[in-house]
Chain A
Amino acid sequence: MTLARAEAAEPEHAALDIAGERLILRADRSVYWPRTATLFVADTHFGKAGVFRRHGMGLPQGTTDADLARLGAAIAATEASRVVVLGDFVHAPPAADEPWLARFAAWRAGHAGVDFRVLRGNHDRMDAVPAAFDVDWQAGARLEAPFVCRHEPAHDPRGPVLAGHLHPVVVLRDGGERLRLPAFWAHAEGLVLPAFSSFAGGAAVTPAAGDRLFVIGGDRVIEVATGADR
């Protein structure tokens, strides 16, 4: 009744070829582009649990640290020299004394050799981030030829769009069980990444004919049938 779990094996990633480029869809929810040594992530929502706590909802600390550790591990594993965050870097504009700010700055100092760019998403409602972040902070779309990076998926005549925003998940059913798994969604206009944040929900995708879906189950990325072609 349950999906078999690969025990302590090497993570199994998936490869996806778009516009003559090879992208690696990683089980840690990032996308690696080997030719330019670029790591893409979307929707990190840093500081989200803290926002909940301030509003009186008892969420323990730990998610932001865990996500930073995961991002660090992805950089180490791929030896990426650039990171591009496809929007919703923060969950809400942080208060000046928000504890995670210092922790991010420290993490960033530990990865000082990596070029770090953020495309502002709808949650990133502030004009700048602390200088200690050493982050290129910009709005709008960004050309990484042949790709176009955006927060929200859209058609772009310049090339396939790499985007986030939707937090795609796929619901798998097995008997009475329902599994919601984060997914990469490749469609006619480009690729939508799953939310990188481990404290982010998702929306079930409705794929069109020809789309491809790759779900993340534990340490594996598995392509699943979309059901739209039948």
Chain B
Amino acid sequence: MSDGGGRPAPETAHAVDARIEGWFADRGWQIFDFQRETWAACAAGESGLIHAPTGTGKTLAAWFAAVGDWLNRAEDDGITPGLTVLWITPLRALAADTTAHLAASAAELGLNWTVERRTGDTASSVKARQRRRLPSALVTTPESLALLLSYAEHERLFASLDVVVVDEWHELLSTKRGVALELCLARLRALRPGLRTWGLSATLANLEQARDALTGGAPGRLVRGMTPAATHIDALVPETIERFPWAGHLGTRLVQPVIEALEAAESTLLFTNTRAQAELWHQAILRARPDWLARVALHHGSLDRALRERVEAMIADGQLACVVATSSLDLGVDFSPVDQVIQIGSPKGVARLLQRAGRSGHRPGVASRILCVPTHAFELVEIAAARRKALAGEIEAREPLTGALDVLAQHIVTRALGSSARGGVSEQALHAEVTATLAYRDLGDAAWQWTLDFVTRGGTALSAYPEFRRVDRVDGRLTVGDRRIARRHRMTMGTITSDAAMSVKWLKGGRIGTVEERFIAQLTPGDVFLFSGRLLELVRVRELTAYVRAARRRKRHVPRWAGGRLAISGTLADAIRGLIEQARDGDYREPELAAIRGLLEVQRQWSALPGADELLVEHVTSREGRHWFFYPFAGRLAHEGLSALVAWRLARMHAATFRFSVNDYGFELVTRSRVEFSAAELRAALSSENLIDDLLACLNAAELSKRAFRDIARIAGLVFPGYPGSHKSARQVQASSGLVYDVLARYDADNLLLDQARREVLERELELGRLRGALDRIDGQSLRLVSPRRLTPMGFPLWVERVASQVSNESWRDRVERMTVQLEKAADR
């Protein structure tokens, strides 16, 4: 079973404790091989990662590994042991459920263990008691763990820790929270050299890397968990298909067939990609079935937690016919009553699709099933592409982050704080701890020294930071002396994740949930928006609260929350290119491809269906000007960078100003200038030479970096977000991250956090890796330049995207509909 390498599996040698055997037997359950493998490995002192597409049995594998190990080693004298198992969960919402499960099984085994949780919600009296003595098993979040490490008692509290389990490690892996956790784990390993770390993860392409990030590069094992019997991925194919699809209208046209699917199942999880879409579908379903008012619920990350928890409890009890959810329900809690999963819109990635499919049929040996509902015609291709990759077992990788200096700065302060009572932490010891992680293994000495300077002096000696106080550095040891600084640091530690969130409250009192500040910033009082299944009118914004009342007018503003702009994964894009080539060759075996054959044939006749070895560029002339449509299939983020780059390079060849739009398949450039570009010039504009310099020159790099700097400033402690009930004087040290960025750029331009912001923009906002990959691929492709007489089915959605972004009122819909009618007529001829 082990795919961890050539070591002999120790399972034969390892005897499972009789109490654990009995526990399974009492339930009539069988112990899976992968569970035995985990237990034996843990008993042999190994760490590792347990991976499986669904949750089946992973929790028990890790939990009984830790418990079994304790049973083997310790004398169970009935005395409650100190902290033995630390269980990290990425979501506070999962902590309660996990704690209950672990506590129940410990009691059933007859262990005299205490199992408790500690999260941001835990009562302060409980927290204070826990700081005197932690329970035998503690369920907590990465942030709460970091907070514990900031207290002087942490050395004593973790002195008996044996095993750390990290649940849903794949969710943390490529995030700064994951990096922060890597640092905390390194600290725990320094305290407890024999500590074993076990992670639970969905399947990923880069499992070895995921394991190494978890274990700090120490050898560890990969254990493959249960694989479901099969995953069925089907598309709901509409009866009629537009040949000129557009993505902007969040089509709920398929609501009737979806209602039929809901009626046929006991309980359905209906996933959407955005919160806005979730709100719209929730409304559409209730409009079609008003009698389901009590049986259809909404669940997304902006809703108040109490409301979400109520919904989760109702799903578990089987009270709901349907829950409309976003990624907020991708994780965690086992919903056994759910027997159907529906995905609205493209899943955008193979891993996400499998994860969601795995939320139904949570029983070994039972196939999981997911029905995908396209919101426009091309999404049928994406669904077929996702199925193809899922069947081939090709799943996306999640790259761990490395070298983030903001997280490192925060951690250094935490460690200095946690050791202040003992004369501080030595720089040398801390350096060894930090560089033991995968995230900072390659940290250069200059970056390390700079970060130390940043927390001790504000910046380097080259720029002036007088009066600065944060961490004191004496004889190579770091301490925090100022109580106010200690207090503020602890207050801001939990803020790695939170985008500036605003509460939404009724004018008359009562909280509804939270939305991103950016969303509220688009609205003016009097505007109406859909939230939490209700039409609300914004009355006023005060501090970080948006006050609303029930709206009387119908006209509404659909919220555009962050996250609505998910790009398709590279894995999925590959498969889409393959399917389009297949259609070019007349192979329409895939049912989804057959369903949009009409559309694809129009594309072929008017322009071309590109093969994998060619880049299609369409040149169309219209009353608006000259359009060029490029189709690199690299995902919308990479296309944003590419379109700006190509426009900038073309404009240097012949003076012209361009407007552009992007989607997952390609991008459009349009100009009113009377210019023409030869195929050779287009190709030159797509060259991968001078990529970084040209990108930075053509993008408003400062503005983009400022956006990335929001997070960095908060994590590095350059801005203070304030906290509930904070004294008014806290406001005198509040400034926006944009302002801080400007001051640093002007008076300390070499500040490495500015560098980091630029790097994050390139890597994350523009997906530099994919952008470069696309250009490299294009280098090897032939450029196929065609001049169709009008917009093609592939070009049309890009045109719509641009029209929609230019015109702010509703009139763009009329324009789009008029254009659709014209194109349909032309296609009929």
Contact = CB atoms under 8 A, between A and B. Distances in A.
A1 B805 CA distance: 13
A2 B700 contact: yes
Given A63-B747, A176-B805, A201-B739, A58 B733 contact: no
B746 A57 contact: no
B524 A206 contact: yes
B459 A58 contact: yes
B720 to A, nearest CB: 7
A56 B717 contact: yes
A201 B717 CA distance: 18
Interface in A57-79: 57-63, 66
A201 B465 contact: no
Interface stretch (A17-25, A28-36, A44-52, A144-152): A44-52
A60 B482 contact: no
Contact of A55 (B459, B484, B521, B738): B484
A50 B459 CA distance: 14
Contacts of B735: 52, 199, 201
Contact of A99 (B467, B482, B717, B740): B467
Interface centre among A52, A91, A123, A201 (most CB of B within 10 A): A52
A135 interface: no
If over half of A's interface residues share one DSSP class (helix, strand or loop), that class is named, otherwise mixed; here it is loop
A141 interface: no
A123 B805 CA distance: 42
Interface centre among B464, B489, B733 (most CB of A within 10 A): B733
Given A201-B736, A206-B524, A49 B743 contact: yes
A148 B572 CA distance: 66
A54 B459 contact: no
Contact of B466 (A99, A177, A206): A99
Contacts of A56: 468-470, 482, 485, 488-489, 717
Nearest to B658: A1
B718 interface: yes
A200 to B, nearest CB: 7
A101 interface: no
A168 to B, nearest CB: 15
B694 interface: no
Interface in A92-143: 92, 98-99, 123
Contact of A61 (B465, B470, B732, B733): B465
A99 B746 CA distance: 20
B719 interface: yes
A155 interface: no
Contacts of B805: 175-176
Nearest to B659: A175
A177 B640 CA distance: 13
B472 to A, nearest CB: 11
A60 B485 contact: no
A57 B466 CA distance: 11
Interface string B445-485: 00000000010011100011111111000000000001011
Contacts of B470: 56, 58
A123 B464 contact: no
A171 B77 CA distance: 68
A62 B464 contact: yes
Interface in B375-410: none
B333 interface: no
Contacts of A98: 467
B458 A58 contact: yes
Nearest to A227: B524
Query: How big is chain A's contact interface, by range?
Result: 20 to 34
A122 B130 CA distance: 43
Interface in B722-762: 732-733, 735-736, 738-740, 742-744, 746-748, 751
Contact of A51 (B733, B746, B806): B733
A111 to B, nearest CB: 24
A98 B747 CA distance: 19
A58 to B, nearest CB: 4
Interface string B191-233: 0000000000000000000000000000000000000000000
Interface in B655-707: 659, 700, 703
A200 B739 contact: yes
A165 to B, nearest CB: 14
Query: How big is chain B's contact interface, by range?
Result: 35 or more
A170 B718 CA distance: 25
A98 to B, nearest CB: 8
A44 B534 CA distance: 44
Given A2-B700, A206-B524, A60 B463 contact: yes
Contacts of B717: 56-58
Contacts of A175: 659, 805-806
B468 A53 contact: yes
Interface centre among A60, A92, A180, A201 (most CB of B within 10 A): A60
A62 B751 CA distance: 15
Interface in A199-214: 199-201, 204, 206
A53 B746 CA distance: 17
Contacts of A180: 738
B459 A91 contact: no
A58 B465 contact: yes
Contact of A57 (B659, B719, B748): B719
A51 B729 CA distance: 11
B732 A53 contact: no
A25 B774 CA distance: 50
A203 B819 CA distance: 41
Nearest to B732: A92
Nearest to B454: A58
Nearest to A58: B458
Interface centre among B736, B747, B806 (most CB of A within 10 A): B747
Nearest to A98: B467
Nearest to B647: A1
Given A53-B466, A60-B458, A206-B524, A199 B739 contact: yes
Contacts of A200: 739
Contact of B747 (A62, A123, A171): A62
Interface string B744-788: 101110010000000000000000000000000000000000000
Contact of B465 (A51, A55, A60): A60
A50 B703 contact: no
A171 B523 CA distance: 13
B747 A61 contact: yes
Contacts of B718: 57-59
Contacts of A177: 700, 703
B674 to A, nearest CB: 21
Contacts of B489: 56
A174 to B, nearest CB: 10
Nearest to A180: B738
Given A60-B458, A123-B732, A175-B805, A53 B469 contact: yes
A76 B585 CA distance: 76
A123 B742 CA distance: 23
Contacts of A99: 466-467
Nearest to A176: B805
Contacts of B485: 55-56
B467 A50 contact: yes
Nearest to B458: A58
A50 B172 CA distance: 37
Nearest to B736: A201
Given A54-B469, A58-B465, A123-B732, 14 more contacts: A53-B465, A53-B467, A54-B467, A54-B468, A56-B468, A56-B482, A56-B489, A57-B719, A59-B718, A60-B748, A61-B464, A61-B747, A62-B746, A199-B739
Top 9 nearest A-B pairs (CB, nearest first) are A58-B458, A62-B747, A56-B470, A61-B464, A60-B747, A60-B748, A53-B468, A56-B485, A60-B463
21 contacts: A2-B700, A52-B735, A54-B469, A55-B484, A55-B733, A56-B470, A56-B485, A57-B717, A58-B459, A58-B468, A59-B458, A59-B740, A59-B744, A60-B465, A60-B744, A61-B465, A61-B747, A62-B746, A177-B700, A198-B742, A206-B525
Interface of A: 1-2, 49-63, 66, 91-92, 98-99, 123, 171, 175-177, 180, 198-201, 204, 206
